[in-house]
Amino acid sequence: MLFKDRRFAGQLLAKELTAYANRPDVLVLGLPRGGIPVGFEVAKALNAPLDVLVVRKLGVPDQEELAMGAIASGGVRIVNKYIISLVKISDEVIAKVAVQEERELERRERLYRGNRPFPDLQGRTVILVDDGLATGATMWAAVVAVRKQQPAQIVIAVPVAAPETCQELETEVDEIVCVSTPSPFHSVGLWYEDFPQTTDEEVCHLLAKAAKNGDPISLGM
């Protein structure tokens, strides 16, 4: 399946999540940047609040698209031992890349969240949304970050994903919902007609719009 854009993909994804509509315990967490336009459509369709969970991939130096791990809000860091061993990456290199990405994560946290606290996830059903899953590194980090807060249920929801990534992640969460799992997969952007980079401005605009529509982006419970 080829998606027109992230908005259209989010609308299709929402149709697969109707069991979670109009439930007071549900919270949609979008992974920026590309997961926010998708998450906005999901949250709107489910009548659920939208918030943001900042994650950053740890890319292999000179091969940034190859993930050797990821970090997430709350001090979470995961590493891909297979990639690290394959490319022979030292602990010093991992630490250097992590420091750089932590700075960017903190910048985005300040920009997207400001002084608002991260919502309390304990006992809630959390739907983690991104625009797609390739290696799944950032989603792994997001799951670890969310699990630390003891939610009642964790659901991963994406329009498109590599089949093997879905299989790996489905054992880590309560449910994974994916509209399409094409094989061979190659990359997320290949399955969108229009796939521009989502900007910080777009993320902030959609979060503010969700709040204005009555879907508070920070519950602070």
User: Which of 220, 217, 174 is CA-nearest to residue 39?
Assistant: 217
Strand partners, 63: 60
- Confirm if 181 and 163 have CB atoms less than 8 A apart: yes
pTM above 0.95, yes or no: no
Q: Count CB neighbours of 166 within 10 A.
A: 18
The answer to whether 69 and 89 are in contact (CB under 8 A) is no
Predicted confidence (pLDDT) per residue in 88-105, tens digit: 999 999 999 999 999 999
| Domains of the chain: residue spans and CATH | 6-54+120-212 (3.40.50.2020), 57-111 (no CATH)
pLDDT tens profile 11-33: 999 999 999 999 999 999 999 99
List, for residues 173-220, the tens digit of each pLDDT value.
Answer: 999 999 999 999 999 999 999 999 999 999 999 999 998 775 444 333
Task: Report the pLDDT averaged over residues 120-144.
Answer: 96
CA distance 45 to 7: 12
Alpha carbons 170 and 172: distance in angstroms, whole number = 5
- The Cα 203–Cα 179 span in angstroms is 23
The pLDDT score that the predictor gives to residue 116 is 86
How many Å apart are CA 138 and CA 128, to the nearest integer? 11
Average pLDDT for the chain: 93
